[in-house]
Structure 1
Amino acid sequence: MISSSNSISTSDENGVYGIMSLVMKSIASEIEHIDHLQVSSCNYRAESKLEAAIVGKFVLAVYTKICRLRRERTLLQVLFILLLLLQFHVVPFAAADEALGDSMSRSTSMPEPKRAKVEVQKRPILNFTLSDGDEVGCVPIERQHSLNVGNLTIPYQLRPSSRVKVGNSTTNSRGAVRAEQTFKVEVGACPDGTIPVRRTRDIFNLTSIFSETHNLEDDNNLQSMLLRRQFHKRNKIGPPGFSQPSDSNSTADDEDSPHEHAFVVVNKTEGPFRGMEVILNIWEPYVQNPQEFSLAQFWLISGSYSGNITTSSKSYSTILNTIEAGWQVFEGLYGDNRSRLFIFWTADAYNDTGCYNLYCSGFVQTSNKVVVGGSFTPVSRVNSTQYEIELVVFRDDWSGNWWLVLNDEPVGYWPPHIFTGKMRDAAEYVEFGGEIINSGEHGRHTRTNMGSGYYPEEGDRVAAYQRNIQTVKEDNQLRDARITLGRAEQPACYTARISTQFLDWGSHFFYGGNGHSKRCRHNITTVR
């Protein structure tokens, strides 16, 4: 096991001290515009947004002590509080960049000032417009959803305490080249202490796509829309092969499911699983309409749809929990048809928890190089250079966090506390494959492609593949996985084939299909 820093920090040095320095400068420059603290029996009431941004629960306790000792209404009290915050490395900023939602304006119960507002001087944020049209902002790590509770910033792990050990598996790319994100190619990285966040304006287009009315300023409604409309407006969702409890005779394989898969399953006897690794061949498949998507991914799974959601100190919840990531083409979510990195999770069978990417609390991003939701470049073409990405997920020994690594770069982690079941410690199942949404327009199967749009029998450089599939057990070592073929919902439209063609690819398979065609003539008879 390769050990690195075991420290958990609320920020890197530049992050905390950079923010504090700028806040102090802001206080000094705006001193004549800030109302004095209002003291009545040492109860604090903010009179400006600046004060609201600084004050948190920890600060209130410190302020009360200061107040009782001095009973003075001076700015010195605020400065003293800031010095204490520096000592304890606590940054109580609730304000967030518009890309993450203006949580301060909605969450604070402090009254608006009675005169002209004083704008909070934020830490400088760099903004970039990429060649793919994305607008990316460099946002302080502390200001993402997952690290803000009230006005306090939750301590976080800046880097994993260990890395998984490589087993006996060997790998040969056979001429394939690693795909990188457009942001990394054109920008490189955000400053230390910040993360690159893709602006979310495009996802507001979902309201017109799904014909629903939402308060777009409420990120909870947006999260609800992303989950319930896309995943719950139709039956039988989630990992392939898992049954829904609402109908004991129905499974994810039923013909009326809009989610169609081609996938493989790691033998459960090899579990429990503390992580996995896979190399995904990356394409930009044709997707028929914005309501549909095409993706390649892994699923780490515990529990089931029929499980009990109740937890206690003596037992785990047995409801479905998942960790998911891969690449995805989804115009309805991203505003274009580029292949993009996505992440997803749920702790209650896709009901009220979890979301895509950084659209809700859960996943904590720490990398300043990776854009969650960002596009990849280049992508594979038939009978041409093949491009790949490597994904690794492992449970950190020291913290219990589930770390995601993209192309050797730790992206961030899913904290164990967000899960309700065995996923807090280990996954029970691991699956790999492709997935599409079939909207059934005009009463026939969609033309949306999976993978490259070609069937697996076409082989290397034509069909999409996933290779060097490995899993991690308690010893934190990667081992080649034994995989079996999962049952596709529409095998005439999309299918997978396990291959032994390339020994240095370890466990690998080809998969895909082109949707409605002479081979795939599935007619849609169910109203969705």
Structure 2
Amino acid sequence: MDSDISVKCAWGAPGEQINKISSRELQINKPAAKTIQSPDGDIIDCVMFHKQPAFDHPLLKGHKLLNPPKIPRKHNQTRILNNKFQLWSLSGETCSEGTISIRRTKEKEILRATSIRKLGRTFNIIQKDSINNGHEYAIGAVTGDAFYGAKATINVWAPHVETNPPEFSLAQIWIVAGTFGTDLNSIEVGWQACLPYGDSQPRLFIYWTSDAYRKTGCYNLQCPGFVQTSTTLALGAAISPNSIYNGQQFEIKLMILKDPTNGNWLLKFGSNFNEEIGYWPSSLFTHLNYKATTIQFGGEIMNRKSTGSHTSTQMGSGHFAEEGFGKASYFKNLQVMDSNRNLIPLPNLQVLASNQNCYNIKGGTNHFMGNYFYYGGPGKNDKCP
């Protein structure tokens, strides 16, 4: 069930197709009070907070404003390096008070969707016992009775990703509850390359589903649900700079936590997690409206075997875990939030790779990196034909 990332445009007569594309563009891309041109060709729309896509969701009609967009603050040089990590904002431009920053969805991205309804949808169900429809993983996981948040520091790479047919490579945090049948609830955040943007730049993304990826959920703001509050970040926009092999490492810090007052899941970033991107209202979920029972961290790729052999799409840096700091990709300072809303080290972290000859993972603990693991690999090689 991974056909959502294939290029398939034959879903109607030409006139009908054009009308559907135009209608979908208008539905996703809300009227902008201001537009910002990014150096990489992206367009960032500054959309009034109350007109964002989230409020098209029937469960969010009349949704009370919980966390209004914040007025951009001046940052010192250290904060700029830590918090302004997207190409479009490096010039210093930002959206004004009362608006949020949204990356405009392009027509070619709609054309890449299998159908208009599947725009931005994925089927990356995280089952540990098999390779799932071409999805391969290297993850660290913890399970328990109740988790209320998780955080991680992740280094960012620009991995090689096969484009014909299109594949993807990502690193993310999963917040999970329910079963892997029809009622899986999942919240996901991290960086990804290729899907669904048509290039290999690493981009900040979010995802959610409340029914095991069947009918609900999507990437970023391409369907109603996630309420954005940030004026300084645009979901789906390119991250810059990226880590350099045997050189400087560039990291992003992300945290998801359940608000004890209203039950919503907040998404934060920044050096001290003091910047909010937005939140998932608890009403979107059937299990995560209460708690999470599994937290996962790690990498994922799509292997289409288009030439009959394993893909050469890289995970992370494209190098195996044993190469270590500066060469392998990593997650560090991993913590989860317990029922007392305390951030604690990971209890009984289990690491696994679904295809160890192609991508692997090695975990540990030390003073510098806390709970951590290195992960990744090149894909196709002598041991991964």
TM range (shorter): 0.7 to 0.9
1:455-488 per-position Cα deviation (integer Å, ceiling 9, x unaligned): 0000000000000000112222211113533332
Q: Which amino acid aligns with 1:379?
A: N
1:140 aligns with 48
More strand by share: 2
Note the 1:305-344 alignment, pairs <5 A: 305-306=180-181, 319-330=183-194, 332-344=195-207
Provide the identity percentage. 35
Is residue 157 of structure 1 aligned with residue 157 of structure 2? no
Note the 1:425-436 alignment, pairs <5 A: 425-436=290-301
TM-score by length of 2: 0.84
Over 3 Å counting, the alpha-carbon distance change for 1:99 and 1:181 in structure 2 is farther
Over 3 Å counting, the alpha-carbon distance change for 1:519 and 1:453 in structure 2 is same
Over 3 Å counting, the alpha-carbon distance change for 1:300 and 1:396 in structure 2 is same
Is residue 182 of structure 1 aligned with residue 90 of structure 2? no
Over 3 Å counting, the alpha-carbon distance change for 1:506 and 1:179 in structure 2 is farther
1:504 aligns with 368
Q: Which amino acid aligns with 1:274?
A: Y
CA distance in 2, matches of 1:143, 1:306: 34
1:390 aligns with 253
Shift of 1:147: 1.7
CA distance in 1, matches of 2:297, 2:254: 12
Of residues 354-363 and 471-480 in structure 1, the stretch that sits farther from structure 2 once superposed is: 471-480
Over 3 Å counting, the alpha-carbon distance change for 1:373 and 1:420 in structure 2 is same
Is residue 438 of structure 1 aligned with residue 303 of structure 2? yes
Over 3 Å counting, the alpha-carbon distance change for 1:371 and 1:424 in structure 2 is same
CA distance in 2, matches of 1:277, 1:472: 9
Over 3 Å counting, the alpha-carbon distance change for 1:285 and 1:240 in structure 2 is farther
2:99 aligns with 194
2:133 aligns with 257
Note the 1:270-289 alignment, pairs <5 A: 271-289=145-163
Q: Which amino acid aligns with 2:215?
A: D
Is residue 410 of structure 1 aligned with residue 276 of structure 2? yes
SS at match of 1:413: strand
CA distance in 2, matches of 1:451, 1:240: 20
SS at match of 2:368: helix
Note the 1:468-479 alignment, pairs <5 A: 468-479=333-344
Partners of 2:351 and 2:362 within 8 A in 1? no
Note the 1:354-369 alignment, pairs <5 A: 354-369=217-232
Note the 1:74-93 alignment, pairs <5 A: none
Is residue 514 of structure 1 aligned with residue 378 of structure 2? yes
Correspondence for 1:226 among 107, 116, 120: 120
SS at match of 1:376: coil
Q: Which amino acid aligns with 1:491?
A: Q
Over 3 Å counting, the alpha-carbon distance change for 1:354 and 1:149 in structure 2 is closer
CA distance in 2, matches of 1:444, 1:149: 42
Over 3 Å counting, the alpha-carbon distance change for 1:272 and 1:481 in structure 2 is same
Over 3 Å counting, the alpha-carbon distance change for 1:444 and 1:413 in structure 2 is same
CA distance in 2, matches of 1:291, 1:148: 30
Shift of 1:152: 5.9
CA distance in 2, matches of 1:257, 1:365: 32
Over 3 Å counting, the alpha-carbon distance change for 1:152 and 1:456 in structure 2 is closer
CA distance in 2, matches of 1:140, 1:178: 23
Shift of 1:100: 2.7
CA distance in 2, matches of 1:240, 1:279: 24
Is residue 376 of structure 1 aligned with residue 239 of structure 2? yes
Query: Which has more radius of gyration?
Result: 1
Partners of 2:181 and 2:212 within 8 A in 1? no
CA distance in 2, matches of 1:126, 1:159: 18
Over 3 Å counting, the alpha-carbon distance change for 1:240 and 1:504 in structure 2 is farther
Note the 1:49-68 alignment, pairs <5 A: none
CA distance in 1, matches of 2:33, 2:88: 16
1:150-193 per-position Cα deviation (integer Å, ceiling 9, x unaligned): 89653221169xxxxxxxxxxxxxxx977712233223421011
1:338-366 per-position Cα deviation (integer Å, ceiling 9, x unaligned): 11001001000110111110011110001
Q: Which amino acid aligns with 1:305?
A: F
Unaligned stretches of 5+ in structure 1? 1-95, 103-121, 161-175, 215-220, 232-236, 242-250, 308-318, 522-528
2:75 aligns with none
SS at match of 2:146: coil
Note the 1:97-136 alignment, pairs <5 A: 98=26, 100-101=28-29, 125-136=33-44
1:79-134 per-position Cα deviation (integer Å, ceiling 9, x unaligned): xxxxxxxxxxxxxxxxx9947346xxxxxxxxxxxxxxxxxxx7x71111111211
CA distance in 1, matches of 2:29, 2:281: 21
SS at match of 2:147: coil
More helix by share: 1
1:398-450 per-position Cα deviation (integer Å, ceiling 9, x unaligned): 111100012131000000000012x1111000010100000111111000000
SS at match of 2:220: coil
1:232-286 per-position Cα deviation (integer Å, ceiling 9, x unaligned): xxxxx41242xxxxxxxxx4x14x63000001112x24x4100011001111100
Partners of 2:37 and 2:44 within 8 A in 1? yes
Q: Which amino acid aligns with 1:272?
A: A
Is residue 239 of structure 1 aligned with residue 126 of structure 2? yes
Q: Which amino acid aligns with 1:488?
A: A
Partners of 1:272 and 1:428 within 8 A in 2? yes
SS at match of 2:97: coil
2:285 aligns with 419
